[in-house]
Amino acid sequence: MLNEFGLIQQYFNRPAPEGYLGVGDDCALFTPTPGWQLASSVDLLIEGQHFFPDVDPFLLGHKALAVNLSDLGAMGARPKACLLALSLPEIRPLWLEAFSNGLFQLADQAHCPLIGGDTTRSKQGVVISITVLGEVSAGQALQRSAAKPGDDIWLTGTLGAADIALRLLQGRLAADSERLAASRGALEQPWPPYRLGHALAGLAHAAIDVSDGLVQDLGHIAKASQCAAHLEWDALPVDSSLDGLPADLQREAVLVGGDVFQLCFTGAPQQRESIMALAQREGVLLSRIGSMQTGSGVYVRDQQGLHPAPAQGGFDHFGG
């Protein structure tokens, strides 16, 4: 049986790119880019809480890094490196190979090398914590507090699919294999637009990644920026996997559903063309979904008028 060090060697100790000291010493090392700020974020994923025990480990490796790249993108930062803390009940070679392949495939694509980590044993389930490090030119970070009244609100990708897939997999929605096939990719293999996020640094105003639900996350921008956010229901990009579902359920999945990992950001109307051109260049679907206004809170405008958005909901691990 492999010991801890053999495990690290075999699955995670790939050569670090030039300029990095990677796995194998007390710390990893790299030289930051002069004049740039260092951005850092950490996420914790727990079996049974954030993923199903039988999820495809390749997709899990991808998602564990993707949710962190999503945070970098929402800050306008480009990826620089990542670290992995991993706890397993036992060593399962096939699982580890698939998990590491999923992680490395995205790490390679994002130029975000794995430079350090810690592996350990837990009697309970799998625990994954990834820390990402990124860089953004000084003063250009996309902070939540930077939205201004009059700003457009933009959203990448579509909404609702991850929530519907979760409901189907949990049996909270009647089995529908076709709908599950259409929606589960959004849940299990999200592709956050981290390259667009970095391209928007210095151009957009505020940004956040939609992890806990659009209304909740946009509410963080509104609160930090001391503005109100007005969403236009008809402009929201409802994922096609929601077609045919009851209107109430669609509305809940779109406004409150979590695990989206798309980018919500604000920008001056004068920048519309530049912003759309960037999204085009990066091949990212982009919708203009509302505007920031004076006041506070999040509102939705539909055929019946302007209403406060559902106040509860979102993916709050402890309460809500």
Instruction: Provide the phi-psi class of 4: left if phi over 0, else alpha when psi is between -120 and 50, else beta.
Output: alpha
Instruction: Please identify which residue in the block is written with the tokens 């659009």.
Output: 214
Binding mask 48-67 for a second copy (x = CB under 8 A): xxx-----------------
| Chain residues 216-275 in contact with a second copy, contact rule CB under 8 A | 224
What is the C-alpha separation between 305 and 29, in angstroms, rounded? Answer: 55
* Residue 54 marked in a binding site: no
**1 three-class SS:** coil
Instruction: Please identify which residue in the block is written with the tokens 């019946």.
Output: 304
Q: What are the angstrom distances between the C-alpha of 294 and each of 147, 185, 288?
A: 11, 37, 19
Tokens representing 269 are 């109307």
Other Cβ atoms closer than 10 A to 227: 24
Q: Which is nearer to a second copy, 68 or 291 (CB)?
A: 68
| Chain residues 291-310 in contact with a second copy, contact rule CB under 8 A | none
Task: Please select the residue that binds a second copy; options are 54, 246, 273, 318, rule is CB under 8 A.
Answer: 318
Pairing mode, strands 207-210 and 152-156: unpaired
Task: Please select the residue that binds a second copy; options are 30, 105, 137, 301, rule is CB under 8 A.
Answer: 30
| Region from 42-50, 163-171, 233-241, 245-253 binding a second copy, contact rule CB under 8 A | 42-50
Say if CB 275 and CB 204 are below 8 A apart: yes
Tokens representing 56 are 């495809």
| Region from 19-27, 58-66, 183-191, 237-245 binding a second copy, contact rule CB under 8 A | 19-27
Contacts of 58 (CB under 8 A, 6+ apart): 98, 99, 101, 102
| Region from 93-101, 109-117, 162-170, 177-185 binding a second copy, contact rule CB under 8 A | 109-117
Size of the site for a second copy (CB under 8 A): 73
* Residue 243 marked in a binding site: no
Binding mask 116-135 for a second copy (x = CB under 8 A): xxxxxxxxxx-x-x-x-xx-
Q: Which is nearer to a second copy, 136 or 187 (CB)?
A: 136
Q: Is 164 in the site for a second copy (CB under 8 A)?
A: no
Pairing mode, strands 297-302 and 228-232: parallel
- Spatial CA neighbour of 253 closest among 120, 160, 130, 154: 160
| Least Cβ distance, residue 278 to a second copy (angstroms) | 19
Tokens representing 155 are 């959203």
| Region from 80-88, 179-187, 229-237, 278-286 binding a second copy, contact rule CB under 8 A | 80-88
| Least Cβ distance, residue 256 to a second copy (angstroms) | 15
* Residue 240 marked in a binding site: no
Q: Which is nearer to a second copy, 134 or 257 (CB)?
A: 134
Binding site residue list for substrate: 50, 259, 315
Binding site residue list: 26, 41, 43, 50, 71, 117-118, 144, 209, 211-212, 259, 315
